Every structure is written in structure tokens, then in C-alpha cells.
Structure 1
Amino acid sequence: MSKPAVSTDQTLFVRDHCLCLAAQRAARSLSRRFDEAFRSLGLTSGQFSLLNALNRPQPPSVGSVAQLLAMDRTTLTANLKPLERGGLVRPEADPDDRRVRRLVLTEEGRDRLASAMPIWIAVHGEIDAGLIDAGVLRSGLAALR
């Protein structure tokens, strides 16, 4: 017995109303825009976000960074590898619990983040200026977490 086909009207409705699809498309578009802006620094938008997440007074644990960035630990570890190879991040064992890994932003990592921040501010300002109400958008996205 064959399953009923999904109608073209249903497909178009999903295309025009699916919040998940809209969020994915917007995220890819934003990532491409920031990737291009950070290219001269040898960073991607994801790497910028990761460096920014590590910029704390005390080195954060892998678990806390994964939670902040809504990533599983395996994905976070894979994303850290290029930053480690580039000398921007260094993992260290926690002095109080050797099972916990802390992520240290190196001096070079801090410098790269400092170089990227004015770029982020400029591009983010352009994007915000083009939105009708960026605050409402941020609130709506935060409500989905």
C-alpha cells in the first residue's frame, strides 16, 4: 500500500511557515556574512563565537562551553582542534579535579579575538540596522531555547 503523496500546497506551506527552516536559513546566511568578514584574520564565525565564549576571568570547563554554545561535547572538541593547532586555545586539566578539562584562551587567542571584535561590532551593527526590531527578534529566539 503506497503512502499518500505530500501535496505541493503542503510543501509550499512548510517552506513559507516553518520556523526551523527559517532559522536554519538565517543562521547560514549570517554565518556566511561573518565568515567573509573574519576571513582576513583566518577565523570563521563559529571560531569567533568559541573564542568569545572562552574570554572569561577563569578558564571555563569543556562542559560549560558546550552548554553555552548549545553543542554536544564531541562537536565542541572537533571545533576546538583548529584553534588548538593555531595556538589560540590550550586545554588544561582542572587543578582541583583532574578529570575536568579547562579551556585556556592563549595570549595569541586573546589578540585574535581583540582584532576580530571591531569587525564583529561593525558587521553586527549593519545587520541590526537592517532589521525592523532586532530586540524583538533576539527575545523571540531566546524564548525558543
Structure 2
Amino acid sequence: MSKKIPFDATQEVRDTCLCLHVQRAARALAKRFDDALRPAGLTNGQFSLLMALNRPQPPSIAPVATLLAMDRTTLTAALKPLERDGMVRIEIDPDDRRSRLLVLTDAGHLALARALPIWRATHADVEAGLPDQDADRLRASLRALA
């Protein structure tokens, strides 16, 4: 037989669980940015991925996966639609033929150019809506959790 957990335990978790609150906030922010970026033809995840590739030199998979807190398999799956749409090209690293470089194409740069002003406006609205408008403190707290 199982022991039933009292409802006040459910309320305790609902009211105090950092994981739950971060997940809820992440889902709400993801939806807000997905909605905002839809006219640019990108999701918030695709925007973040393309932005992670916007570097002076094309990165390999590992540093991008680390930056985005993804495993390599998930990153590879996320790259497929961007590659199919011509925004990303995956090339063999000439210095290490076992490694792959993630190249942001002209179409990828164009997509970012369309999306960046939308992201900036949406981001400013999100920050303006924070209590005490202390986005730097929130970012520091989230980095500490990561």
C-alpha cells in the first residue's frame, strides 16, 4: 500500500520549488518569443541556435552544445530544419576531418537580421515588466543555477 502525501505538501512544492518556477517562466518566455519571432520565420530556439553560430569562425558542435545546454544529439536534431532551409551548412573541419563545423549561411545571416529587431523589442518589453526591473540580478541568479 502506498502512503498518501498530504495536500499541503503539494502546496509547498507549488509555492517554493525553484525548478517548477524556472520551468514555468521558461515556457512562458519561450511562447512569448516564439509568437514574436513567428513573422521572421523562426522559433526562439532557432533564433538562439543561429545566434550561437554567429561568430567570426564557424564553431564545431561541442562548444555550441555547451553554450545552449544541449547534448550533441539534441543539437544535431535542432540543426536539421535549419540546414534543410539553407540557413546552416555543416562542413568537415579541414584541421580535423573527424570534426564538423557549423557554418551560418547568407540565408542564416538574413534570418538573424530580420529577427534581431523583433528579439530586441520583445526582450526590452520582458525586462521592463520585471519587478524592480533588475534584469542583471536575475541573469546572475540564473547563471548561478546553471
TM-score (norm 2): 0.97
Could you say which residue in structure 2 is the equivalent of 1:136? Answer: 137
What displacement does 1:4 show? 1.6
For the residue of structure 2 that corresponds to 1:9, the secondary structure is helix
- Is 1:78 matched with 2:77? yes
For the residue of structure 1 that corresponds to 2:98, the secondary structure is coil
What displacement does 1:3 show? 2.7
Could you say which residue in structure 2 is the equivalent of 1:97? Answer: 96
Runs (4+) off by over 6 Å: none
Q: How many residue pairs align between the two structures?
A: 144
Matched to 1:104, the amino acid is V
Q: Which runs of 5+ in 2 are unaligned?
A: none
What displacement does 1:60 show? 0.4
User: Percent sequence identity over matched residues?
Assistant: 63
Alignment of 1:119-134 (within 5 A): 119-131=118-130, 132=132, 133-134=134-135
- Is 1:60 matched with 2:59? yes
What displacement does 1:42 show? 1.3
When the two chains are superposed, the root-mean-square deviation of aligned CA atoms in Å is 0.7
TM-score (norm 1): 0.97
For the residue of structure 2 that corresponds to 1:100, the secondary structure is strand
For the residue of structure 2 that corresponds to 1:98, the secondary structure is strand
What displacement does 1:6 show? 1.2
Q: Which runs of 5+ in 1 are unaligned?
A: none
